[in-house]
Amino acid sequence: MLMAIPWGCRSDRRVVKPDIQSPEVAGRIAGIRQAVVSGDVSALPLLVDRLEDHDPAVRFAAIIALEKLTGRRMGFSYGHCDEERAAAVQRWRRYLLTDIAGEVGPPGGSRRQP
């Protein structure tokens, strides 16, 4: 008689709630992913905030999300030193305040004409 042995399957897995501002790393990353999948450009300011996250995986997810949503990186790299990251975050904040004026074009960086 053969017996089924549950290798690697666990029913006690925790469900992660996607939330860009979650206190948990997994929740922040899931929230970032959700913003990209849904094309939620209203999340751009929160994504820029996550560029300053203490966790490098969250910073990485945030810059990839920003690049997918805007087509830009603004010189940001999740592994740069604090000063270089801070300068890039300031560029992102200026971009959000002045350059996009509430309208972001498709990925690749081109903006829609009014």
Reported as a single tens digit per residue, the pLDDT across 39-61 is 999 999 999 999 999 999 999 99
pLDDT for the residue 99: 75
pLDDT for the residue 101: 57
What is the mean pLDDT of the segment spanning 80-92?
Answer: 96
Q: How much of the chain exceeds pLDDT 70, in percent?
A: 76
**Measured between alpha carbons, how far is 112 from 4 in angstroms, rounded to an integer?**
57
Residue 95, pLDDT above cutoff 50: yes
Across all residues in the chain, what is the average pLDDT?
Answer: 84
Residue 71, pLDDT above cutoff 50: yes
pLDDT for the residue 86: 96
> 12: buried, middle or exposed (CB in 10 Å: 19+, 13-18, 0-12)?
exposed
CA dihedral (23, 25, 31, 32) in degrees, to 10, reads 130
What is the mean pLDDT of the segment spanning 63-75?
Answer: 96
Contacts of 37 (CB under 8 A, 6+ apart): none
User: Nearest-5° angle of CA 87, CA 52, CA 105?
Assistant: 75
How many other C-beta atoms are found inside a 10 Å radius of the C-beta of residue 28? 24
Per-residue pLDDT reduced to its tens digit, 1-33:
444 445 455 555 678 899 999 999 999 999 999
